[in-house]
Every structure is written in structure tokens, then in C-alpha cells.
Amino acid sequence: MKDKDQGKMSLGARLAYSFGAFGNDSFYGLLSGYLIMFITSHLFNTGNAAEDARMISMVTLIIMVLRIVELFIDPFIGNAIDRTKTQWGHFRPWVVVGGSVSAVILLILFTNLGGLYQKNAILYMIVFAVLYITMDIFYSFKDVGFWSMLPSLTTNSREREKTATYARVGSTIGGGLVGILVMPAVIYFSARPTSTGDDRGWFIFAAIICSIAFVSAWCVGLFTREVNSDIRKNKKDTKGIIGIFKALSGNDQLMWVALAYLFYGVAINITGSLEVYYFTYIMGMPKAFSIFSTINVFLGIIATSLFPLLSKKMSRKALFTSCLAVMLCGMGLFAVAGSNLPLVLLAASIFGFPQPMVFLIVLMVITDSVEYGQLKLGHRDESLALSVRPLIDKFGGAVSNGVVGQIAIMAGMTTGATASSITAAGKLNFKIMMFAVPAVMLVIAILIFASKVILSEKKHAEIVAELEKTWGKKFDKDSDNDVDSDVLIATPISGELINLNQVNDKTFSSGSVGQGFAIKPSDGKVLAPFDATVRQVFTTRHAVGLVGDNGVVLLIHIGLGTVELNGTGFVSYVEQGQRVKKGQELIEFWDPTIKKAGLDDTVIVIVTNSGKFSDIDLMAKTGQAVQAEDNILELKVKKEEPVLGGGEVEPTN
């Protein structure tokens, strides 16, 4: 039996998306971690230490300010992507264009711009600022577009976790590979190898990473696709500045997880950015950083692979808290490890190991907040919601870029410095900023997440179920669904007829979704009750939406709470847009699976455009055994009342 589940991606598409994550994080690692290293340890080398320090301070502050300014642009970037409509979809055009342009400009920034800073420092800073903000905006379009694709691939939480796990493996390898190769590669490609390389070494290394980012963006554009479903369609667009900020502020779960992630993001960006300085200037072992990065890649893959298992056994709150507690332990050990390489590697590994899992937890909560916001606010803002995560990542990166530059100057870790030239006071201040301040931020993140974030998998499943119940309402005003004559509706399944008001679900039993009937099933085969077009195959396969040739919009919903089964025990034989004939099998389900889970197996049949009919009557008695394709419901069309006046002549005797 072939299961045409639109909630799943092909292996090829998953691999392309994973490669996109690989390139995306390789690029981000180069931008956020090693551009600053290039600037502080090599770029400015006039021989005048005071002048070099001034240029380092100014340029790193420019980067911090520009990245913070760009944060306010991100929500508009997300909104612009949401409103993009092309044959390639909302996201892929931005992934390709943003990835291509940002890769080219970042490579230019790994040059001295023809020695411009030595000729005219002010002009250099202006040109640098223009190039940097342009690169950062295009990268934001690419990054927001890339991660915002996740809700468009599926609305199923488990499927999202699987796809996100593939992507996180790719991003872990991509980001880690940059750390592994950076110092050995830069030194190898340099014309005059030193502990921090030279301009040629940095440029060649940057060219390799930027090329990977360029190619991976095109792979995502060419080999993935967005799956449209009616649940993804907004009732209205989010427009204007006020609308954008209302959409964000109105989604309280998005805001709370964002705040927790903000403190977490700033903390790990500061500590993570200073790790290479620790190996270079505290330990005097810059190449040992590659050993740590190699270990970190393998640990990241292991952590990412463990996430699906741990997420089944632990709540998101418990897993988030546990991960940050482990990181705090690693940070404490790191602070006292000194120059003991095995101890430093152990401490840094303990600190880094949980980070991929924290990323996935936050990504899942933010992704699920899309449906939370859709239910609460009445419209769906995929890219707008998911723009929050990269926005916070970039804020953390912006703060760390500015802080790292100032710490490097304060500790004397600038051009020409070595481990032996760093003073005891410099080392102490360095360690306070690298460990103590971030540790406080991690504790704050734990408290916020534990007390305010309530969007669990179960809660998300309930939200999706509510959205599915109202999917057909948008067809009520669709002129293509006009009904010209009375209609008879057959039962799609055999069993015992139940009155709709007896169904143990207030939304269905109240008739707020629409009028209809229910069946206590005697088998697991769901058939088409009339000739129709399939307008929605829900990702969990427990429901299907039809628009009939007779004008009836029908929702067939199998069981109550069955969304929690995530498709287990259900097989779908149709896909969205498919034409079906009366009696054709739509879904097959294994009833014992539903009962074993302690769920109600009642099949609900709802006419969601009930308002088009004057009377809806059951043709059989409740409690009666019925067979699939027996006529059960009679729909009587509303009669148009004659309109008087307006140029019409009233009949006379």
C-alpha cells in the first residue's frame, strides 16, 4: 500500500536541505567567529600599536552597531518573505539570491580593500560599513528563508523534528568544520606562516567557505520544494509596521521562548567566540583548537542523533533545563582548567555537547508557535515567527563581536601578541567575561523557559486539531461551490449511526464547525461519499477534506484526539488536488491502534458549508447499523426569495 503522505519529504530533498544547513552554518561560523579573529589579530598592522587598536575598536563597534540595527529589519524581512509569491514558492528565491550575494561580499571583507585603511581610515570605515550591512541583510534573507521553510514542509511535529534533525546534523558538521580547518588552513595557505597566518591564507580559506555557502544555497533552491496545504493559507495578510509587531507581541509563546533564547544566545556567543582566543593566547596552542573543534563535531552529531530519543522521554522544559545545567558544569570546569589540554578539551566538550539539542528544542517551540499564533490571532506568519530565531542568533553574535573586540584590546590580544605577552590581570578579566557573565545569563534562560513556555508537543497537537476542524470555512464564500439543488450525502464508512450532538467533542457536537453526523465504525475503510476533489490530506492522516462536484464541502475526521498518534495506524490513498469517485477508498485505519491509545474511534462527518442549506436532516435513526455508501443525510438548498424594487415590476392581479 502506498502512503501518499504530504507531511513527509523525500530522502533527496532532506539531503539537499541538510547540505543547505551545512553551507549556512559554515558561512555563519566564518562571519560570526573568524571575521573578528581576522580583524583583531591580523588585518590592522601599521606598526603603530595605538592606531591599530583604535581601528580594531572602531571596526568591531561598527560591526556590533550594524548587526543590532539590522535586527530591527529582520521582522520586515520575514514579512516580505511571507508575502512573496513565485513559482519557486515563498522561500527558495530568497535562499538562492541571499546566499549568493552574501557569499560574494563576505569574501571581499576578508581583504584589506586594497590597503584603503592606510590611505584614508574614514573612507575605509564607510566602505566597510556599507559592504557589511549589505552582506548582513542578504544573509538574513537567506537565513530566515532557509529555516522558515520548515513549517512549509510539514505541519506534523514529529516530521518536523526528523527534518530539523537532518538539517542540524548538516549545520553541526558545517559549523564544526570551519573550527577544525581555520587555523591549520590559514597557516598552510599563508605566504608567510605565523601563529595567525597572513592575508593570503585568510582570503583562500574564506574563498573555500564562501564557495560552499554559494553552492549549498543553489542546492536548496533546486532540490527542495514547499508543500502547500489549506491549513497554511492565511485568512488575512500581516501588513505594515503595526501589523508586524502585533503579530509578534500577540504570540506570547513566541515571545517567551525568544526571551529565554536571547539570554542563552548571548551567553554561548560570548563564550564560543572567545574559545579560539583561549587556545591561542591563554594556552599558546592555536592548533589545539582544531582538536577541540573535531571532537565537538562528533559530539554534535551524537547530541543531534540523541535528540529524537530524548524528546520522546523528556518534556521540552526538562530537556532544556538539563542541557543548560550540563553547560554550566562544563563552563565551571573550563574556568579552572588553565593550560591543561586534556582538562580544557573535556570542559569545552561538556559545554558544547548540549548546544545542538538546545537549538532543536527552541526551533521546535518556535516552529510550533506558528500554529499557536494562527489559532490565537487568526492568521499564519511562518517567516515572521521563524525570523525571531536568527534575529536572536545575530543579536548574540553582534554583542559578542563588539565585546570580543574590546576584550581583545583590554587583554592585549591584538596583532603581534603571544601567550607569553598576556598579563595576569589580562587573563583574569578575560576569564570573567568568558565564563562568569555568560553563566549568569544561562541561569536566567533556565528560569524563563521553565516558568513561561507551555507549548509542548501535546499542546501543539491540540492546536493543529482545532485548526483542522475549521479548515473548510474558507470555502463558504467560494462562488465555485454554489449549490443549485438538494443533495443526498452517503456515509463514508460502515458502523452505527450517532447523532452529532452525542459526539464527545464540544466543537463538533455544538455544530460550530458545521452540521453532519457521526459513525461508530465497524471497519477501517473510509470511502468517498460522492464525486469530489481532495482539498486537504492532513499530515497525521486521520482526516480528509473534500469539495464535492455537488458543491458540498465535507470534512471526514477519524476519532477524537487521534492527531496525537502522528499518523500511526493510518494509511492515506489520496493526495491533495486528486479527483475521486464515489466509493473510492480515501483512508484505511487500524481501529485497535486508536483503542489501545485510549482514544475515541468515532468517525465524524461534517458539512462545513452548512450555511448554504435551509434544512439538513438525518435519513436514518440513530443507533441504526449502516453500510458505507448508504444515503444518510439530506441537504435542502436555500430558495432565493424574489427581489422587489430596483427596476423590477411587482406582479399585479
Active site residues: 557
Amino acid letter at 618? L
Helix/strand/coil for 198: coil
Strand (E) or helix (H) holding 481: none
Residue 233 corresponds to which amino acid? K
C-alpha cell at 519: 459513525
Distances from the Cα of 180 to the Cα of 288, 289, 297, 331, 510, angstroms: 9, 7, 9, 21, 61
Instruction: Please return the burial class of 336, using the count of CB atoms within 10 Å of its CB with bins 0-12, 13-18 and 19+.
Output: exposed
C-alpha distances (whole Å) from 527 to each of 532, 544, 587 are 12, 11, 7
Q: What is the DSSP letter of 639?
A: P
- Tell me which residue of 455, 470, 465, 456 sits closest to 566, measured CA to CA: 465
What's the burial of 172, exposed, middle or buried (CB within 10 Å: 0-12/13-18/19+)?
buried
Query: Would you give the end-to-end CA distance of the chain in angstroms?
Result: 68
Cα 346 from chain centre: 31
Q: Please, which residues have CB within 8 angstroms of residue 8's CB and are 6 or more apart in sequence? A: 154, 159
Strand partners, 618: 633
Please list the helix, strand and coil fractions of the chain in percent, rounded to the nearest 5, in that order.
60, 10, 25
The helix (run of H) or strand (run of E) holding residue 98 is helix 92-109
Dihedral (C-alpha) 288, 290, 295, 301: value to the nearest 10 degrees? 160
Alpha helices in 190-315 (DSSP H): 199-223, 240-249, 252-277, 288-313
Cα(586)–Cα(569) distance, integer angstroms? 14
Tell me the C-alpha distance between 66 and 400, whole Å. Answer: 13
* Total residues found in the chain within this entry: 653
